[in-house]
Amino acid sequence: MKLLIRLPIFAVSFLFFLAMCKSSQPSEISETNDLKENHNDSRQLTAKPITKLRLTYDSVWFSKREFLLLESGSLHESGNFYKIEYKDPKAGEIVWIKISSTNQDNQRSFPYLNSDLPSTNTTKVSYFSWQGRKATILIRDISPAKVYLRWEGIYKGYLIVAETEMNQLAADEKNGIGDYFHQHVSNYLELF
């Protein structure tokens, strides 16, 4: 019996809600479309280049150079990754970079690039001060011609990783490559 009494009240409330949702003003979208059709505008819409890539809620990769987005996706349900290639790199500059983030719980299962390299490869680890904590730079020889670079830092509970490969440098220049990579990553990360 109570159900029979409540059903008409619910139906009337639902109809009242639908009536209130209906707009009495013409849609702005249809007016805008009509104006575009009438004006035969010769301008073409151009896409703005991507400059910011969201890593976490509190961090964004803000590139000051033009780039192509090669890959993107999510990591461990709480992080993101992007692989980008910079347009028109100069000699000695980074050509591509993979930027990733995940929460600290998934740090042990992080899918690093070149993690399958034999441990016999020459590896150098450096530490830099970053956001009141340490950022780690790993430099590993891949071949006589290439070197692998990995930057890691933790910000607000998230592990942020930047990875790339560069051409081998002369021995005296190689000492500054970690500092160069740390500066590159620090300058391109926008933190909130």
Q: pLDDT: is 68 or 29 the higher one?
A: 68
| Residue 137 pLDDT | 92
Burial string for 21-53 (b: 16+ CB within 10 Å, else e) reads: eeeeeeeeeeeeeeeeeeeeeeeeeeeeeeeeb
Q: Which fold has domain 52-191?
A: Protein Transport Mog1p; Chain A (3.40.1000)
Confidence of residue 75 (pLDDT cuts 50, 70, 90): confident
* pLDDT tens, position by position, 96-129: 999 988 876 656 656 566 665 555 567 888 899 9
Letter for the amino acid at 37?
E
What is the pLDDT confidence band of residue 184, given thresholds at 50, 70 and 90? very high
pLDDT at 151 over 90: yes
Given pLDDT bands bounded at 50, 70 and 90, which one contains residue 26?
A: very low
More confident residue, 164 or 168: 164
pLDDT of residue 35: 44
Query: What is the average per-residue pLDDT within 29-52?
Result: 54
